[in-house]
Amino acid sequence: MVGSSLRAPRDVARPVKIKSVTRGAVIYPFLVAVTALALWAVLSASQVFPSSAFPSPIEVWNGFLGKLRSGTLFDDVVASLFRVTMGFGLAVSLGIPLGLWLGLRLRVRMALLPAVNFFRSLSPLAWIPFAILWFGIGDIPSIFLIFMTAFFPMVLATSAAVASIPHVYFRVARNYDFHGLEFLTQVTLPAIVPQVITALRVTAGLSWVVVVAAEMIAGRDGLGFLIWDARNQLRPDLVVVGMVVIGAIGVVIDRLVMRLTRIPSVRWGYDR
């Protein structure tokens, strides 16, 4: 009786605490956004910077509505998302298997890892001249740059995750006579999923950043081209529109990748 009465407050307090944390996750970012918007409005009204270089929130909002009504903003968003999806998807579909192979083969890893590190250290933007020379202007050079951005980090992260799996996992798997595909799906993949999801989150963000730079130089449409074209037209309000849309979509992409961590078969890796 006494034990149950002592446990009750803790059982009641926990849902309340979780609910308060959930509310804080919504309220605090909202307050920060409102404060930043108010500061932006004050700075633009005080004319600390010339209006041609520091558009007001109203000007940006009107520019956003104009691009929305014309339909060009939607087309640019679709174009950028298409390129990121293709380049990032190709990098993941090839990078994870190669990383698994390197992680499971010590001699192969010793031979190829320096090359992987070398290309990972190169800025993806350094490939822009070759991307234009090889593929011209359009979707393919942007997809190529995104692929080069995400592929080598995914290979490196996957191979490092496999190499760090405790050897006791493999010994137990051999005791249970796991071989081939069963060994991969029952031991290796479940052990590395948390690290791979973290790598996906990082490389997805990098890919979204690089597509904007690629479209500024090697594109005819997309959010990066929107910013470049607005700059040429001396329309700083549209430049900010592009920046805000890019940031908002980047947050959404990050949140979508983070949802993978809520899969029950993955959650254990984060709770260890």
Per-residue confidence band for 152, with pLDDT thresholds at 50, 70 and 90? very high
Q: Residue 193 and residue 24: Cα distance in Å, rounded?
A: 29
**pLDDT higher than threshold 80 for residue 252:** yes
The tokens 């579909």 sit on which residue?
Answer: 93
Backbone angles phi, psi at 179, to 5 degrees: -145, 155
Per-residue confidence band for 195, with pLDDT thresholds at 50, 70 and 90? confident
**pLDDT higher than threshold 90 for residue 154:** yes
Together in a domain, 9 and 102? no
Per-residue confidence band for 11, with pLDDT thresholds at 50, 70 and 90? very low
pLDDT for res 46: 78
Q: Residue 125 and residue 210: Cα distance in Å, rounded?
A: 8
For the residues 72-96, what does the mean pLDDT come to?
Answer: 93
Together in a domain, 90 and 208? yes
Together in a domain, 117 and 44? no
pLDDT digits (tens, 9 = 90+) for 122-142: 888 889 889 888 988 888 999
**pLDDT higher than threshold 50 for residue 200:** yes
Query: Over the range 41-74, which residues count as b (16 or more CB within 10 Å of their CB) and which as e?
Result: eeebeeeeeeeeebbbeebbeebbeebeeeeebe
User: Which is more confident, 253 or 260?
Assistant: 253
pLDDT for res 6: 44
Together in a domain, 252 and 214? yes
pLDDT for res 153: 93
**pLDDT higher than threshold 70 for residue 13:** no
Range(s) of the domain holding residue 108: 57-271
pLDDT for res 265: 58
Per-residue confidence band for 242, with pLDDT thresholds at 50, 70 and 90? very high
Together in a domain, 43 and 63? no
Together in a domain, 101 and 220? yes
Query: Is-contact 73 245, C-beta < 8 A?
Result: yes
pLDDT for res 24: 67
pLDDT digits (tens, 9 = 90+) for 158-181: 998 888 877 777 777 777 777 667
Q: What DSSP line would sit under the chain, residue for residue?
A: -HHHHHHHHHHHHHHHHHHHHHHHHHHHHHHHHHHHHHHHHHHHHHTSS-TTTS--HHHHHHHHHHHHHHTHHHHHHHHHHHHHHHHHHHHHHHHHHHHHHHHH-HHHHHHHHHHHHHHHHS-GGGGHHHHHHHH-SSHHHHHHHHHHHHHHHHHHHHHHHHHTS-HHHHHHHHHTT--HHHHIIIIIHHHHHHHHHHHHHHHHHHHHHHHHHHHHHH-SSSHHHHHHHHHHTT-HHHHHHHHHHHHHHHHHHHHHHHGGGGSHHHHHHHH-
Query: Is-contact 76 243, C-beta < 8 A?
Result: no
Together in a domain, 149 and 189? yes
Together in a domain, 201 and 159? yes
Together in a domain, 31 and 136? no
For the residues 16-41, what does the mean pLDDT come to?
Answer: 75
Q: Residue 230 and residue 237: Cα distance in Å, rounded?
A: 8
Domains in the chain, number:
2
Query: Over the range 112-124, which residues count as b (16 or more CB within 10 Å of their CB) and which as e?
Result: bbeebeeebeeeb
User: Which is more confident, 267 or 85?
Assistant: 85
> Domain containing 176 — which CATH number?
1.10.3720.10
The rounded radius of gyration (Å) of the Cα atoms in the chain is 24
Together in a domain, 29 and 71? no
Query: Is-contact 151 206, C-beta < 8 A?
Result: no
pLDDT for res 1: 43
Together in a domain, 155 and 252? yes
Together in a domain, 193 and 116? yes
